[in-house]
Amino acid sequence: MNISLLGCGRWGSFIGWYLDKIGHNVTIWGLPDAPQLIELKTTRKNNMLTFRDSINITDHLEQAVNHAQTLIISISSQALRSFLGTLSKYNLAGKRIVLCMKGIEVNTGKRLTQIVEDFIDEKTQVGIWVGPGHPQDFSKGIPNCMVIDSRHEDFKNDLIKEFSSELIRFYVGKDLVGNEIGAAAKNTIGIAAGMLDGLNLSSLKGALMSRGTREISRLIKAMGGNELSAYGLCHLGDYEATLFSQYSHNRRFGEMLVKGEKFSLLAEGVDTTKALVYLGEKYRVDLPICNTVNNVINKNITAKDGLSELFIRSIKEEF
């Protein structure tokens, strides 16, 4: 397949490397002044991988769009709408779009595929690629399982057939709403896990995992999805990589926030948390963990006080 990766961060560059490795014809695009792209063009390396000469690396967006039938977007979720405004100026007829990114638009509460649908016609096929794993682990040959989902059955089945390998086993998603919300929301739970680490309360991660999954399942159900999706690879299945891994930006953000330190990298869960609070109010779903994380980040409540309130809530049945 001719594939263009739009975005050259740690995920975008890894996906380009991976798809080239399993035999596809790959172009990686990034902004001309992006440090990651400059490094790739200059050295054909980053801190994880070496990129073969078979991969085309460019800062010309039109060239990248024209190269491929399948466009994989991997950028900051909050930048997606602006980027699509630029992307839609080019001829997208017959293109297929895959989002390998996780988030919810903070100002509208829209899922990422909904944002894409604001810019395309109904015939354009759109899918998502979500699930556990870090590029740092994949680059070492450590395998994992992920999910591809789409409203277009033929499209997602074709992607799974073309993208599967011994390194990544793909499952067929059956709940686009649940997989998008679950994938985004795990970053908020990751921030909460980092807060526990920062307070030397890591033993409470078991409770966080149990209650966090239940909380997000309620929201998915209220939004019309299958609540069991929260227990799948998009959410609970991604907890090890998000709540425990040294590579998790969101876990690290929460830990450093508690310690009064600044985290300079992108933590998607910060904006996702605001969006989840908005969705909880819109759909009248109780989201105590999401609300607590939001209060600590945005309302100057200490993590210790916020997390303590979770444990002194009124008596409730577990299920």
What's 226-292 look like in SS3? CHHHHHCCCCHHHHHHHHHCCCCHHHHHHHHHHCCCCCCCCCCHHHHHHHHHHHHHHCCCCCHHHHH
Catalytic residue among 102, 186, 221, 274: 186
Helix (H, G, I), strand (E, B) or coil at 299: coil
CA-to-CA distance for 149 and 285, rounded, in angstroms?
Answer: 25
CA-to-CA distance for 156 and 160, rounded, in angstroms?
Answer: 6
Exposure of 290 by Cβ count < 10 A (0-12 exposed, 13-18 middle, 19+ buried)? Answer: buried
- Distance of CA 37 to CAs 6, 63, 121, Å? 11, 15, 31
Helix (H, G, I), strand (E, B) or coil at 31: coil
Find tokens 């709940």 and name the residue. Answer: 175
Residue 89 appears among annotated catalytic residues: no
Tokens of 45: 């390396």
CA-to-CA distance for 229 and 231, rounded, in angstroms?
Answer: 5
Of the candidates 7, 118, 126, the residue with the CA atom closest to the CA atom of residue 61: 7
* Residues catalogued as catalytic: 186
